[in-house]
Structure 1
Amino acid sequence: MNAEEQRYKYLKLLSEKYPARQSVYAELIHLNGVLSLPKPTEHFMSDLHGEYESFFHILNNCSGVIKEKVERVFSRKMSKEEMADFCTLIYYPKEKLSALKKKNMLTPEYYKKTILNLLDLAKFMSYKYQPREINKTIPKGYGSIIDELLRGRPDADYVPRVYRKKMLDTLISIGSGNDFIFAFTVLIKRLAVARLHIVGDFFDRGGRPDAILNMLMKHHSVDIQWGNHDVLWMGAACGSETCIAEVVRISLKYNNIDVLERGYAISVRPLFIFAAGLYPDDTPEVAAQKAISIILFKEEAALIKRNKDFNMDARVLLDKIDYKKKVLILGGKEYELTIKDFPTIDSADPLKILPEEEQIIRNLRSSFMESQQLQRHIQFLYQKGSLYKCYNGNLLFHGCVPVDSQGRFKNIRIEGKNYAGKTYLDYVDQKIRQAYFGGKDKFTIDFMWYLWCGINSPVSGREMKIFERIYLKDKKTWQEPSDYYFSYYDKEWFCEQVLQEFGLDPVHGHIINGHVPIKVKDGESPIKAGGKAIVIDGGFCRAYHKKTGIAGFTLVSNSRGLRLIEHRDFTNVKAAIMNNKDIESVSKSIEVQSYQTTIADTDEGRKIQEKINDLYHLMLLYKNGILKPVE
């Protein structure tokens, strides 16, 4: 079948959906109208690291988008205190209404006034959307009433004014005021942000990655670009003993065992019992961390030895220790150890995994593989995630595209083939998916660990020195070499090269990264190469706040350009509800346009234009009598 025949076959199928000329005309009119609408708002977040409360608040306030809209609509009608109170209601409707109920403030007058204000705000925010999309956005069960209220004519018209008043009086009198307020707040948040992008790293350091993922699974429109911490947990969920040992070690290090035990029903009790017998003078947490660290480095050694493509022999270090002198010997130099007791090491065969250690890791593997909640979250990461994403002219990925010292895409040989640039990232994306959905061959599962910490990994891009940081006093040995990508992404020519590699416009496109915390307190800027690259890891997790000096970055893209939001410290949800305390943020415009970007300029617009072209061709077939329309 040639191209012309395939085209005719497609248009014939399309005619089944639009069997009459009038239906073609109506869809053409509608779609051309949609192309003229302003581009909906996109919201970018990165490196959440389990920091649930801050994430919850920033997601609810849409990085200040809702506050901005409230001020535009109500600045002449409400005081600053009233607007703050109204914003808190939108962010936390259930909690706010519960607090107001305790104060006996939920009167019919409150409900009526609040619902009318929510209606006014929703009307103002809905202008960017076609009616079909708004109907999809309204929470189920409230569609017909909210739709009627949104489409209502001006109050100056007597009949609709009486009609609307009767509707409001009825919904309040039957006790559905709370339900409708909640439905309106959901609608407003969905109108505020059409698309949420998470540029990697849900796990580790913060205490509630599980709660973040539970929340995102209910989000109306989200995509994810995997980070190295995500890939580590994905590898653990695939059954990699090495990834599992590292996940447990990090959880112990950051005192996040609750994530494993309560969040995912993964018991670490056998590890604690085993460790207590080995290190009786240490606290249970320290003892467990010591025990799992040795298991980790033994598992890593076995993995590295069976995967020569990884080129990581230098990371096998347990056999470089002189266990009598208690020093590490490397390159003829001796390094003093900070930990000097090794009860599970056989000095004659330091890399040997003891039967007791094997039993510990086997039990942990079963728990990770059998955790329904963890597997549900990992499946969500696969469903919504990818290694990189090209979206509306921007390139989103967590870490880097590996390059050499000259800034050229690094040639990486693996499994007998050479990869560079986009082809390497496509290969890595495929292997990550194969690890979970494929036959679980040993190399692919091992590759998940390599992606966590390998210098040629696009989600890591640095040679991690975990062993040195745990065991060596000399901090010079802690330095972690990074891929040259991070030396070049502040240069415009380099960013243009990367954008072109992925088929994007090098003039108007942007690279949006996470992964590397930006040290704002030291004067470092997240805006690289004149705005060509934007790094939105500002230390979302509290563990990074001292390092960065702020509480994270988020990015907002709307029809007028790009805005970077720098967040200050946020106390807690209770303070937000009781005192209407919003997170302190500073907004900085990266790119301001004199014109308004429309849907026609977006990826969705290009799809719509293709459909318009198809409908014009179908209309010609009807007009020329090649296909017979239904009259």
Structure 2
Amino acid sequence: MYKEKYFDELRKEFNDEDEIVTEIVNLEAILNLPKGTEYFVSDIHGEYDGLNHILKTGAGIISEKINLRFPDMDTNDKNELNFIIAYPKYALEKMQLKLQDDELITWYFTMISRLIEVMQYCASKYSRSKVRKSLPKKYAYIIEELLYVEGNPKNKQKYYEQIISKVIELNRAQDLIQSLARTIQKLVIDHIHIVGDVFDRGRKSNEVLELLENTHSLDFQWGNHDVLWLGGFAGSQACIATLFRIATRYGYIFDLERQYGINLRSLFTFADQHYDADPYFYPKTGNFTQKDLDLLSKVHQALIVIQFKLESQIIKRQPDFDMDDRLFLDQVQTGKVQINGKSYPLEHAAFQTVDPEHPDQLTGEEQSVIQSLSYSFRHSPKIKVHMNFVLKKGSMYLIYNNNLLYHGCVPLTEDGDFDSFKYQNKSYEGKDLLNFFEKHIRAAVNKRGSSENNDTDLMWYCWIGKKSPLFGRTAMTTFERYFISDKETHKEGDNPYFKLRDRLSTAYYILNKFGLDEHTSYIINGHTPVKAGKGESPIKGGGQIIVIDGGLSKAYQKATGIAGYTLINNSYGFQIVTHMPFKGIDDLYESKAQSTSLKRIIDRDLPRRNIADTTIGTELKGQIDDLKYLLETDESGD
């Protein structure tokens, strides 16, 4: 019955058999085009400027294409063309100030001609239909006329020159140049994979989401920070307290207030009344007045205590989480805590609202504060748009073009087998474990309750639990880092996955268990910054695992020594791009320097892959089969 309805709907799309035949021919031809270029980026953590630069420059690929298209061009002209494609509006403003009117007209003509040539080079691997869809509507006809030169181009040279001259004469040169630049950016990046952790630490998560929402083709593998925000949206007060505590620690809580319309009044009033200013709790980053520093130190303390109380409540009502060793509030009144049988004194204690008899119970004022924050967060129109986008585009893992993408890890035992998480008398491991968490994440967000439940508790566990595939550590030592000076207690033990992923056998084991061919498939994940400055390689598992967290977030660049990686997979194979810190457009314009370096990471010769070899190709083949069946049944009169 379902099949019949499907084919009835399919028939409505085509007026006659000739249209079906045309569509089959078109799809068959597309299968033989080179596969599109995929980009993989992870651990953005609110760093809008760095991510925006990567996408605008195609992570250095646009520069490569300019070099290939114009091998004899002067280096300064190449750099200028590359900069204009990335930042056309800025470049045009500079040239207006620099050139006289006659010089500017000549420059416009030259630049439009060069941009058309770059676009021709970038568009050569796509069908005309796909290129047409990427063009701005107002210039689609003009660009197509300039783009597709058939026969002897000399025969139409004056025709093409007249088109460009008329655009300049009609004062549309700047607009056309910007449109051409944006189209080239689109053509260079066919599809983007965000391998987790868009939120927290950087102050521009809002702008990052808006940038990604306007990306033409994208998917999202959730990281633990992303699920923290989804958890807050779904109603987890522990997630809410944590994300605002992080925002205060990294100095962007005022940005959240401004960007998302969050009401912070009750939080600030409560913190000011119950806590003293303490420089120890000042934000780690940001420029603030002394008054704001003092206020934020109070807010920071208030959120820390509220967070730990809410976490203790979850731990006690969810014994399957096996986290009783994190119930530190039960001990704080003694001035010290026991960790692994050893006693540690507490410093910078801020536990005046902790009741010794009921240490995890919120005071009435604290309950009002967290309810106000939760309501404001969950009912923010922009938060709703962003969270729905992350949910719609996201998943715990993705199999795409025969590669396995996930953010953190697949928990393993020391022996290299899948580790299991037992919940309500059922055990989950490997692929089933990731599916289990995804099911509960979607259920929690779809229900969007006003209070905690098993689904929201499991989202919090994804953020912090030792069997969480998004966290992958034995403990998140937030309490220890705040209140214990001995740095030995600050260490967070890694799941064995992070040691075993150096082995080829581990890559083979995981790929096989996910139904992939270990010889032709790769695992791509982020989460753990690669210490490139100390010689660590992002290539693990005998070349089958690629870790792409290189420190795009400024918070990690001291550890990594670089400013992130972009992994690129085109029709020939994989490349990895190493990024240097992005210092701003002004610096880039003045220096004309590139902030990326390209390194090929698969040196063996591989046959060039066509769309037929991809996930999209599989979908197109299914469409072709359906159309052929439709054609055959219509011809036979069935």
Q: Who is 1:453 aligned against?
A: 464
Please give the residue correspondences for 1:245-324 in structure 2 after superposition, counting only pairs within 5 Å: 245-282=241-278, 283-323=294-334
Q: Cα distance 1:207–1:215, how it changes in 2: closer, same or farther (>3 A)? A: same
Two-structure CA RMSD over aligned residues (Å): 2.1
Q: C-alpha offsets along residues 53-79 of structure 1, whole Å, 9 cap, x if unaligned?
A: 111111111111100001111121x21
CA distance 1:311–1:123, shift in 2 (3 Å): same
CA offsets 1:6-28 (integer angstroms, 9 cap, x no match): 76775565444445443343233
Q: Which of 459, 470, 479 is equivalent to 1:467?
A: 479
Tell me the distance in 1 between the aligned counterparts of 2:447 and 2:500.
Answer: 36
User: Does structure 2 retain, via aligned residues, the 8 Å contact 1:226–1:385?
Assistant: yes
Greater shift, 356-365 or 117-126, is seen at: 356-365
Asked whether 1:197 is paired with 2:208, we answer no
- Percent identity, aligned pairs only, is 37
Distance in structure 2 (CA, Å) of the matches to 1:297 and 1:8:
56
Q: Deviations over 1:602-627 (max 9, x none)?
A: 1111222223333344444455x335
Q: Which segments of 5 or more consecutive residues in structure 2 lack a partner in the other structure?
A: 279-293
Q: Which moved more, 1:410-419 or 1:526-535?
A: 410-419
Match of 1:79 among 74, 78, 82: 74
Q: 2:539 aligns with which of 527, 542, 553?
A: 527
Map Cα deviations across residues 506-534 of structure 1 (whole Å, 9 max, x no partner): 21100000001111122211101122100
Q: Is the 8 A contact 2:377 2:383 kept in 1?
A: yes
TM-fit CA distance, 1:135? 1.0
- Which residue does the alignment assign to 2:419? 410
Question: Match of 2:98, as an amino acid?
Answer: K
Query: Secondary structure at 1:23's aligned position in 2?
Result: helix
Q: Within 1, Cα distance between the matches of 2:329 and 2:160?
A: 75
In the alignment, does 2:111 pair up with 1:100?
Answer: no
Q: Displacement of 1:586 after TM fit?
A: 4.0
Aligned position for 1:484? 496
Aligned residue number for residue 35 of structure 2: 39
Matches of 1:11 and 1:341 in 2, distance apart?
66
Question: 1:444 maps to which residue?
Answer: 455
1:38–1:598 Cα contact (<8 Å) kept = yes
Contact kept in structure 2, 1:387 and 1:397, CA below 8 Å: yes
Deviation per residue, 1:27-69 (Å, 9 max, x gap): 3332222111111111110001111111111111111110000
What letter corresponds to residue 292 of structure 1 in structure 2? Answer: L
The aligned residue for residue 139 of structure 2 is 142
* Residues 201 and 226, structure 1, Cα contact 8 Å, conserved in 2: yes
- Secondary structure of the residue aligned to 1:157 is helix
Supply the distance in 1 between the matched residues of 2:518 and 2:494 (Cα, whole angstroms): 25
Match of 1:121 in 2: 118
- Whether contact under 8 Å (2:42, 2:196) holds in the other structure is yes
Instruction: Label 1:417 to 1:82 Cα distance change in 2 as closer, same or farther (>3 A).
Output: same
Give the Cα–Cα distance (whole angstroms) in 1 for the partners of residues 18 and 499 of structure 2: 58
Task: Pick from 525, 550, 557 the counterpart of residue 545 of structure 1.
Answer: 557
Q: 2:350, 2:324 → 1: CA distance?
A: 24
1:349 has 2:344 as partner: no
Structure 1 residue corresponding to 2:399, chosen from 390, 393, 396: 390
**One of 607, 612, 624 as aligned partner of 2:624:** 612
C-alpha separation in 1, matches of 2:198 and 2:3: 44
Determine the C-alpha separation between the residues in 2 that align with 1:259 and 1:607.
Answer: 42
Contact 1:492 1:530 in 2 (8 A): yes
Conserved in 2, the CA contact under 8 Å of 1:42 and 1:558? yes
Quote the Cα distance in structure 2 between the aligned partners of 1:413 and 1:454.
12
Provide the residue aligned with 2:64 in structure 1.
68
Equivalent runs, 1:4-23 vs 2, <5 Å:
14-18=10-14, 20-23=16-19
Contact 2:437 2:458 in 1 (8 A): no
| Count of matched residue positions in the alignment of Structure 1 and Structure 2 | 618
Query: What is the distance in 2 between the residues matched to 1:137 and 1:227?
Result: 30
User: Are 1:569 and 1:584, in contact at CA under 8 Å, matched by a contact in 2?
Assistant: no
Residue aligned with 2:297, SS: helix
Aligned counterparts of 2:354 and 2:5: Cα–Cα separation in 1: 69
Q: Is the 8 A contact 1:322 1:328 kept in 2?
A: no
1:94 shift after superposition: 1.4
Output one character per residue of 1:252-298: Cα deviation in whole Å (capped at 9) or x when no partner.
11112233122222243433333233333422222221111011111
| Letter paired with 1:455 | K
Quote the residue 2:291 is aligned against.
Answer: none
Structure 1 equivalent of residue 526 of structure 2: 514
- Give the drift of 1:394: 0.6
Name the residue aligned to 2:637: 626
Tell me the SS of whatever aligns to 1:597. Answer: coil
Aligned with 1:570: secondary structure? Answer: coil
Q: How far, CA to CA, are the matches of 2:350 and 2:220 in structure 1?
A: 42
Select 1:373's aligned residue among 382, 395, 407.
382
CA distance in 2, matches of 1:105, 1:598: 48
Q: Which TM-score applies when normalising by structure 2?
A: 0.92
Distance in 2 (alpha carbons) for counterparts of 1:274 and 1:475: 31
